[in-house]
Chains A and B, each alone.
Chain A
Amino acid sequence: QKEVEQNSGPLSVPEGAIASLNCTYSDRGSQSFFWYRQYSGKSPELIMFIYSNGDKEDGRFTAQLNKASQYVSLLIRDSQPSDSATYLCAVNNQAGTALIFGKGTTLSVSS
């Protein structure tokens, strides 16, 4: 069974701080990695994807990938209360046919 692991949280940070969300995966053949954000009562929406080792930045968000360690992370700089949500890590299976999701980390940003 291929797995994607995340700390469930809650992760609490003050407004303006850096939030760090972590994810590990078991399938070494995975090639594509995604972070989805899900607000309470809403459907997930894609916020970042990364395919290559290293960092990828998009505004306040940075995704980091280390395939050797099978580790993906999401950094949120200058965290805002509007960032409070559950963040889902997802990994493409080796066949590239479907995404496997972690259980999600709940982030709470206090003002």
Chain B
Amino acid sequence: DADVTQTPRNRITKTGKRIMLECSQTKGHDRMYWYRQDPGLGLRLIYYSFDVKDINKGEISDGYSVSRQAQAKFSLSLESAIPNQTALYFCATSPENTGELFFGEGSRLTVL
């Protein structure tokens, strides 16, 4: 089983729908991240969390929200999806102060 698991792996939805992407990890890391990857734009940070009570915005947080339900679980929500949120979303974890990210397999979201 993967150490960082993302669900769903693929999702097609319509404009205006609420979507939740879930991430769970068995690596025991406190730090968790959500990144978005678009062709030609690389990986961009949406939100990150260092523990259950710590949530921080990244460079592109508008239109997204997150919830850290437990040390091992970090969810990303799109309250009202729009087509330009079509992208590949990665969850990642990190041990403290190393900078090494361990990525999930990605969730491909298409908003029609």
Which residues from chain A sit less than 8 Å from chain B, CB to CB?
1, 8, 32, 34, 36, 42-46, 49, 88, 90, 92, 96-104
List of 5 A-B pairs having minimum Cβ-Cβ separation, nearest first = A103-B42, A43-B103, A101-B43, A32-B99, A101-B42
Assess whether A102 is in contact with B42, with CB atoms less than 8 Å apart: yes
Beyond A101-B43, A104-B42, whether A96 also contacts B97 by CB under 8 A is: yes
In angstroms, Cα B92 to Cα A44, docked, is 10
In angstroms, Cα B50 to Cα A43, docked, is 22
Assess whether B100 is in contact with A46, with CB atoms less than 8 Å apart: yes
Assess whether A98 is in contact with B40, with CB atoms less than 8 Å apart: no
In angstroms, Cα B42 to Cα A36, docked, is 12
A21 CB → nearest B CB, Å: 14
Assess whether B101 is in contact with A103, with CB atoms less than 8 Å apart: no
Assess whether A43 is in contact with B99, with CB atoms less than 8 Å apart: no
B74 close to chain A: CB less than 8 A = no
Q: A1-B59, A98-B45 are in contact. List 17 more A-B contacts (CB 8 A).
A: A34-B100, A43-B90, A43-B103, A43-B104, A43-B105, A44-B101, A49-B99, A88-B43, A90-B99, A92-B99, A97-B50, A97-B56, A98-B33, A98-B48, A101-B42, A103-B41, A103-B42
In angstroms, Cα B43 to Cα A90, docked, is 10
In angstroms, Cα B45 to Cα A97, docked, is 11
Q: How many A-B residue pairs have CB under 8 A?
A: 48
Which residues from chain B sit less than 8 Å from chain A, CB to CB?
33, 35, 40-45, 48, 50, 56, 58-59, 90, 97, 99-101, 103-106
Contact of A99 among B50, B56, B101, B104 (CB under 8 A): B101
Q: Give me 13 A-to-B residue pairs in the complex whose CB atoms sit less than 8 angstroms apart, sorted by A's number.
A: A8-B40, A42-B105, A43-B104, A43-B105, A43-B106, A44-B90, A49-B99, A90-B99, A97-B48, A98-B33, A100-B45, A101-B42, A103-B41
In this complex, the member of B90, B97, B100 whose beta carbon has the largest number of chain A beta carbons within 10 angstroms is B100
B112 CB → nearest A CB, Å: 22
